[in-house]
């Protein structure tokens, strides 16, 4: 688990616009919580969902727990197989972060791209939720 530069600022911008922010992480819960605390982001998020495997069912359970329909949620991640694909399979919108992608571009109805975490608030604002 790593913290992108300007991640806290991007999350603060999203929350200021009325969005809720949760972290979805894969791993052993105790170890992942320890990492969140050490990174200083445990207080930034509204909650966290941790599982040994992120799959579509994991995202559906998390969304049900917070009372959000899949089409009204956006998953932001940097791993296609572990983050983006399971979220899309669950019916969510997804933003893939990476230096080799074209910012703001959409690839299909629910997949968007960002070069940096700082672009996320603008992209989320333009998704019809």
Q: Which region among 20-34, 41-55, 106-120 has the lowest average model confidence (pLDDT)?
A: 106-120
How many domains in the chain? 1
- Tens of pLDDT, residue by residue over 30-86, are 888 888 888 887 788 898 899 988 999 999 999 999 999 999 999 999 888 899 999
User: Residue 49: inside a domain, yes or no?
Assistant: yes
Give the pTM. 0.85
User: Residue 121: inside a domain, yes or no?
Assistant: yes
**Pairing state of beta strands 22-26 and 47-51?**
parallel
- Tens of pLDDT, residue by residue over 73-97, are 999 998 888 999 999 999 999 999 9
Share of the chain above pLDDT 70, in %: 90
Residues 6 or more apart in contact with residue 85 via CB below 8 angstroms: none
Give Cα separations from 3 to 7, 93, 107 (angstroms).
7, 21, 26
User: Residue 116: inside a domain, yes or no?
Assistant: yes
Q: Rounded CA gap, 112 and 18, in Å?
A: 21
Q: Which two tokens stand for residue 37?
A: 């605390």
| Domain residue limits at 90 | 7-126
């Amino acid at each position: 688990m790593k913290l992108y530069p300007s991640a806290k600022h991007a999350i603060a911008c999203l929350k200021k616009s009325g969005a809720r922010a949760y972290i979805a992480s894969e791993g052993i819960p105790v170890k992942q919580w320890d990492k969140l605390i050490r990174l200083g982001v445990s207080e930034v998020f509204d909650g966290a969902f941790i599982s040994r495997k992120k799959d579509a069912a994991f995202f559906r359970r998390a969304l049900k727990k917070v009372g959000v329909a899949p089409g009204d949620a956006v998953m932001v991640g940097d791993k296609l197989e572990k983050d983006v694909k399971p979220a899309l399979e669950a019916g969510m919108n997804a933003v893939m972060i990476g230096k080799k992608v074209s910012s703001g571009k959409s690839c299909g109805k629910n997949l968007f791209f960002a070069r940096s975490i700082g672009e996320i608030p603008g992209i989320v604002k333009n998704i019809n939720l």
